[in-house]
Amino acid sequence: MPSNKPPEYLNNLSLQDNFERYFEWGLDLTDPVATFQELGLEWDEHPLGFKVVYLTPRDRGDAMPLRGQVRANVSGAHILDDIHCHPFDFFSGIAKLGRSQRPFRNIRYYPEWGNIPLLKPDETGYIGYETYVDYAGKNHTVAATRLVPEPPSEVFELEVGDSYTMAPIVDFHAVDAEADTVTIFAKTPSVRGVKALMLRHQDLPPPPETY
């Protein structure tokens, strides 16, 4: 086994402490993608178009044996995802910038759910989709909310070595990453039935029902 294999996840440490161990490992890699391939790690395709590389056993829903999961996200093309929140705690760090070396952008959104009016028929906005995880770790989406206007936003530009986290359920964001960007992402296990929310512009097709 190559000497540059990732560390093991330690259940006696916090998610943040484990993330920092994996992030330091990722930052030390000269060519992260080549290393992932050399190590024979499991890869998967995310519906948004980026590659997921599992640095720990992948999330299997309630059957996940670890207190957390760590993966690398590799963008094969420019990624600008939907406005969404997460139903779990997470930490994410920039291990490698994309081809243009433009900073990674974490775009925070601030919906004011109690004060959002329904849109008029001639206005445009965003459709809300509930998202949840089933017993096998599969994601599901269901159109569940009224049409809402785009909430106020704030852009945070991140360089290699920078990291961020957000509170589950209540914090919303979208990621803007150039092709070949590599991030290290640590999360707590997905809990069956816990719902989050995604906002997608009404002119776009709905997200996959299951992925």
Range of the domain at 129: 15-201
Whether the predicted pLDDT of 129 surpasses 90: no
Whether the predicted pLDDT of 121 surpasses 50: yes
Considering only residues 79 and 174, tell me which one the structure prediction assigns the higher pLDDT: 174
Assess if residue 210 is contained within a domain: no
Assess if residue 3 is contained within a domain: no
Residues contacting residue 23 through CB under 8 Å, at least 6 positions apart: 91, 93, 95, 163, 184
Assess if residue 190 is contained within a domain: yes
DSSP code string of the chain: --TTPPPPP-TTS-HHHHHHHHHHHHHT-SSHHHHHHHHT--EEE-TTSEEEEESSPPP-GGG--SS-EEEEEEESS-EE--EE--SS-EEEEEEE--TT-PPEEEEEE---GGGPPPPPTT---EEEEEEEE-TTS-EEEEEEEEEEPPPPEEEEEE-TT-EE---TTT-EEEEEE-TT-EEEEEEPPPPTT--EEEEEETTSPPPPSB-
What is the pLDDT, as a whole number, of residue 173?
96
What is the pLDDT, as a whole number, of residue 92?
98
Sign of CA dihedral 92, 98, 103, 107: negative
What is the pLDDT, as a whole number, of residue 1?
45
pTM: 0.87
What does the mean pLDDT of the chain come to?
A: 86
User: How do residues 60-104 score in pLDDT, each as one tens digit?
Assistant: 655 556 788 999 999 988 888 889 999 889 999 999 999 889 999
User: How do residues 131-167 score in pLDDT, each as one tens digit?
Assistant: 887 766 677 888 766 677 888 999 999 999 999 999 9
Assess if residue 108 is contained within a domain: yes
Number of domains in the chain: 1
What is the pLDDT, as a whole number, of residue 158?
98
What is the pLDDT, as a whole number, of residue 21?
98
Residues contacting residue 14 through CB under 8 Å, at least 6 positions apart: none
Assess if residue 158 is contained within a domain: yes
Assess if residue 115 is contained within a domain: yes
CATH number at residue 177: 2.60.120.10
Assess if residue 211 is contained within a domain: no
User: How do residues 183-208 score in pLDDT, each as one tens digit?
Assistant: 999 998 877 677 888 888 888 888 87
What is the pLDDT, as a whole number, of residue 141?
84
